[in-house]
């Protein structure tokens, strides 16, 4: 089990996308990768030679934690020469890459709960680094018409008493926007008046074009310098990404704080790389000029190609090596049935159709854009752009008829409300009077359902509950003088009341307050019917998923985590096996046989069942659904979110697997036709499920042992979540857990275990095939 920190964070999207592109290349697909954030040039020869020399001279041991003095001096001299800044050695630290500097800096500067202002579009790592120290990233969107530059009034509005710092990335990854001295001055005016710092990420400062007059934020004056920490590195300027050298310069207390943290994380950066970085910063800068000129040529080429594409606009970057075109003009268009909705959808489309890897703007906090890197050869750029432009041309306005109109109800409440089963008669009278007063006449829905021969009347003011109720059950008489066995109130919109459930056993009254989801209504109804059946009809229920073969039923019984649903669907796939019940069966005895009835007209299936049986999807499309996810924000599937392969992004209007709360009211006849479904069959076998790697697949249990295990509701050796509730007889719908009621239920199950054989089945070892063989006597 990984920590919350690990669970919350995703791998850097850029890394993920280039990994995908590499994997496709390995499979022989000719992918052009325009997602990379590193220069394609070789590290300059003089720099490489310095590294080799360091190895030859055995400069391969620990160095000073904050970096070798010669390199710190070279950093200071570079900052002096480039920006006229003076830093003492103790105001400089060298780290294992710019990322490492930034992370140590944020750890050394920012406290839990403090705020860090991050203009968007931002480099992907900033918010994650702030989150990792439990501080709060305050994202401030910048506008394309303002050149993606943070405006003074926007900065002012974002500052609060909790503000600790602003992260300024100049020039910016991903937009390439750079600030002139005057624009920085306007921001500095505000910073001067506040108690806050500026983290100035200047890693692209040498990569500016058209003679852009680059200025460092720290160079705006001594007062500003005291509030600024420059973060930079050699990765981009000297094509040294793999050498991992970054550095920071700022006030001595902050730098020494970073040093303390670094002494426990990485220690000194790589000794050999430090020597190479020293040569890069202090040696000839000829190669920097050469690379800059080439980047400028490529930037112009890419811009000129993109300008010809209708529906696309592209900001002209002043620095870095990315372009950030606005692709929102293509949203709503489609190709080959795939409809684009956002930048992830565009990234997926371009990878699949054009075989070009780019980074979706959403990763940088700007969903209307994509990022293309021109840190790749001119030949690659030509080919990549040819393909992108062609793929964009193929996008056509979407035809309206394509969308499936899902009959889906999204409810306010999701989880079952706790049910109090011992409601006293007096309280019941008061509560039903309150319910009736809220139901009134105009909005009242009333319907009698026959569930295992027991008639339950639903009284509700929620149309959706009435709709599902009428579909779920077989109808019973509904006449003025007909008295149902039980009444179930489901009343929503009562002010001042928590969602709660109640049951009074004397009058068979169920009450659900402020619940608009169907699951709790159905569960309480089943609980009421079980209670009434046991006390009045002498029949009882067994909760399990059951199938029928050769005229006999078998039931799979067990807690979550025992692959019950997998086995159920695998059995249904076996020749001769038919569907009996997906939830529970009511048992009545005739002679020695235990007749098992499925009381439901429609099955209430979790929508994520499509994962086990994809062919269900078109059938679900035509069924009534509840709480199927239609917006990415509502997705609860953390594993899916981490893979960046969201079907909502890829144009699907909904996702069946995104939430455990999503259900479908499903006609069992649709699964295998009327002959593939039986409502009644004698129950001959019960399979109690466990899931471990060592126990035997099938063990026959004697009836008393089976009864003991079922009554306990726990399977030995099964590791379960700490919060997983134990339900006697694995039945969460059983209403009363009083010893008297449980004793009555135990008596019924004892009788069942005389009529049916019970096996312990280990789904960690055995498969549905083992059950099939056992049933067929092989």
Which residues are at the interface with ligand PMP (CB under 6 A)?
37, 97-99, 123, 169, 173, 201, 203, 233, 235, 241, 246
CA-wise closest residue to 466 among 439, 486, 437: 439
Q: Tell the burial category of 641 from Cβ atoms under 10 Å away from its Cβ (0-12, 13-18, 19+).
A: middle
Strand pairing report for 136-141 and 115-120: parallel
Residues whose CB is less than 8 angstroms from the CB of residue 27 and which lie 6 or more positions away in sequence, other chains included: none
DSSP run (H or E) holding 605: strand 603-606
**For residue 752, what are its two tokens?**
């069942």
Query: Contact, 666 vs 623, CB < 8 A?
Result: yes
Cross-strand bridge partners of residue 541 = 586
| Residue 651, Ramachandran bin (φ over 0: left; ψ between -120 and 50: alpha; else beta) | left
- From the CB of 653, what's the least distance to ligand PMP, in Å? 35
Query: Contact, 281 vs 117, CB < 8 A?
Result: no
Distance between CA 543 and CA 556 in Å, rounded? Answer: 9
- From the CB of 343, what's the least distance to ligand PMP, in Å? 18
CA-wise closest residue to 175 among 360, 325, 324, 17: 324
Strand pairing report for 163-169 and 115-120: parallel
Distance between CA 657 and CA 659 in Å, rounded? Answer: 6
DSSP string, 653-671: S-BSSS-TT-EEEE-THHH
Cross-strand bridge partners of residue 141 = 120
CA-wise closest residue to 715 among 583, 555, 561, 582: 561
The three-point CA angle 503-508-509 to 5° equals 55
Q: Give Cα separations from 503 to 418, 446, 510, 635 (angstroms).
A: 11, 19, 5, 34
Distance between CA 709 and CA 490 in Å, rounded? Answer: 35
Spatial strand order in the sheet of 486-491: 419-420, 500-504, 509-513, 486-491, 454-460, 445-451, 474-475
Helix (H, G, I), strand (E, B) or coil at 249: strand
Distance between CA 138 and CA 11 in Å, rounded? Answer: 21
Residue closer to ligand PMP by CB (options 37, 453) is 37
Residue closer to ligand PMP by CB (options 373, 523) is 373
Query: Contact, 691 vs 562, CB < 8 A?
Result: yes
Distance of CA 669 to the CA centre of its chain: 34
- From the CB of 248, what's the least distance to ligand PMP, in Å? 11
Q: Where are the beta strands (DSSP E) in 59-122?
A: 92-95, 115-120
Comparing every residue's Cβ against ligand PMP, the nearest one is 98
Residue closer to ligand PMP by CB (options 174, 484) is 174
Distance between CA 561 and CA 691 in Å, rounded? Answer: 7
CA-wise closest residue to 459 among 489, 481, 425, 497: 489
**For residue 201, what are its two tokens?**
């990420």
Q: Tell the burial category of 283 from Cβ atoms under 10 Å away from its Cβ (0-12, 13-18, 19+).
A: middle
Cis peptide bond N-terminal to 121, omega within 30: yes
- From the CB of 242, what's the least distance to ligand PMP, in Å? 9
Query: Contact, 208 vs 171, CB < 8 A?
Result: yes
DSSP string, 143-166: -GGGTTPPPHHHHHHH--TTEEEE
Helix (H, G, I), strand (E, B) or coil at 579: strand
Distance between CA 472 and CA 448 in Å, rounded? Answer: 12
Residue closer to ligand PMP by CB (options 203, 689) is 203
Query: Contact, 499 vs 511, CB < 8 A?
Result: no
């Amino acid at each position: 089990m990984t920590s919350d920190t690990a669970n919350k964070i995703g791998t850097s999207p850029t890394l993920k996308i280039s990994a995908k592109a590499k994997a496709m290349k390995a499979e022989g697909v000719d992918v052009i990768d325009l997602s990379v954030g590193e220069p394609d040039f070789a590290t300059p020869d003089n720099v490489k030679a310095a590294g080799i020399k360091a190895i030859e001279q055995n400069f391969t041991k620990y160095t000073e934690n904050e970096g070798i003095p010669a390199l710190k001096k070279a950093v200071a001299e570079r900052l002096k020469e480039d920006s006229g800044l003076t830093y003492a050695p103790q105001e400089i630290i060298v780290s294992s890459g710019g990322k490492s500097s930034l992370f140590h800096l944020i750890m050394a500067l920012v406290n839990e709960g403090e705020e860090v202002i991050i203009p968007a579009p931002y480099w992907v790592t900033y918010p994650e680094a702030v989150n990792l120290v439990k501080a709060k990233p305050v994202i401030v969107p910048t506008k394309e018409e303002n050149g993606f530059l943070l405006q003074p009034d926007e900065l002012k509005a974002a500052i609060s008493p909790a503000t600790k710092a602003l992260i300024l990335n100049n020039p910016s990854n991903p937009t390439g926007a750079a600030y002139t001295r005057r624009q920085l001055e306007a921001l500095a005016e505000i910073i001067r008046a506040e108690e806050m710092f500026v983290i100035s990420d200047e890693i692209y400062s040498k990569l500016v074009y058209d003679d852009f007059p680059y200025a460092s934020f720290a160079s705006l004056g001594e007062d500003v310098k005291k509030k600024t920490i420059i973060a930079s590195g050699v990765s981009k300027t000297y094509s040294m990404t793999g050498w991992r050298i970054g550095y920071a310069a700022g006030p001595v207390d902050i730098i020494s704080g970073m040093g303390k943290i670094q002494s426990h994380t990485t220690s000194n950066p790589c000794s050999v790389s430090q020597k190479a970085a020293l040569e890069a910063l202090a040696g000839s800068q000829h190669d920097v000029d050469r690379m800059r000129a080439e980047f400028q040529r490529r930037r112009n080429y890419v811009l000129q190609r993109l300008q010809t594409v209708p529906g696309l606009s592209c900001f002209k970057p002043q620095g870095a090596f990315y372009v950030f075109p606005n692709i929102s003009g293509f949203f709503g268009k489609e190709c080959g049935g795939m409809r684009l909705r956002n930048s992830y959808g565009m990234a997926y489309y371009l990878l699949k159709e054009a075989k070009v890897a780019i980074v979706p703007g959403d990763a940088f906090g700007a969903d209307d854009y994509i990022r293309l890197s021109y840190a790749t050869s001119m030949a690659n750029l030509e080919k990549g752009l040819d393909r992108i432009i062609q793929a964009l041309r193929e996008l056509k306005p979407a035809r309206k008829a394509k969308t499936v109109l899902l009959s889906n109800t999204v409810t306010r409440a999701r989880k079952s409300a706790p049910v109090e089963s011992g409601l006293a008669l007096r309280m019941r009278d008061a509560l039903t009077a309150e319910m009736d007063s809220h139901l009134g006449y105009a909005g009242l829905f009333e319907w009698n359902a026959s569930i295992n021969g027991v008639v339950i009347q639903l009284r509700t003011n929620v149309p959706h509950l009435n709709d599902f109720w009428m579909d779920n059950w077989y109808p019973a008489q509904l006449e003025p003088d007909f008295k149902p066995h039980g009444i179930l109130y489901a009343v929503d919109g009562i002010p001042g009341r928590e969602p709660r459930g109640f049951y009074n056993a004397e009058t068979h009254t169920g009450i659900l307050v402020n619940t608009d989801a169907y699951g709790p209504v159905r569960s309480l109804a089943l609980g009421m019917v079980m209670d009434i059946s046991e006390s009045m009809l002498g029949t009882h229920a067994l909760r399990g998923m059951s199938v029928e073969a050769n005229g006999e039923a078998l039931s799979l019984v067990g807690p979550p985590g025992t692959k019950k649903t997998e086995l159920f669907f695998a059995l249904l796939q076996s020749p001769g096996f038919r569907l009996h019940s997906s939830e529970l069966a009511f048992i009545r005895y005739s002679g020695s046989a235990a007749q098992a009835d499925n009381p439901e007209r429609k099955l209430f299936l979790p929508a994520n069942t499509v994962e086990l049986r994809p062919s269900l999807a078109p059938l679900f499309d035509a069924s009534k659904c509840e709480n199927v996810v239609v917006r990415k924000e509502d997705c609860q599937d953390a594993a899916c979110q981490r893979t960046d392969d969201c079907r909502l992004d890829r144009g699907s209007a909904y996702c069946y697997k995104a939430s455990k709360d999503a259900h479908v009211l499903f006609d069992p006849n649709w699964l295998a036709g009327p002959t593939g479904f039986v409502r009644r069959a004698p129950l001959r076998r019960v399979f109690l499920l466990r899931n471990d790697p060592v126990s035997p697949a099938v063990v026959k249990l004697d009836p008393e042992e089976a009864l003991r295990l079922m009554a306990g509701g726990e399977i030995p050796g099964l590791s379960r979540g700490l919060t997983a509730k134990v339900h006697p007889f694995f039945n969460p719908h059983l209403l009363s857990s009083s010893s008297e009621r449980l004793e009555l239920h135990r008596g019924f199950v004892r009788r069942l275990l005389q009529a049916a054989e019970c096996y312990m089945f280990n789904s960690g070892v055995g498969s549905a095939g083992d059950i099939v063989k056992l049933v067929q006597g092989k």
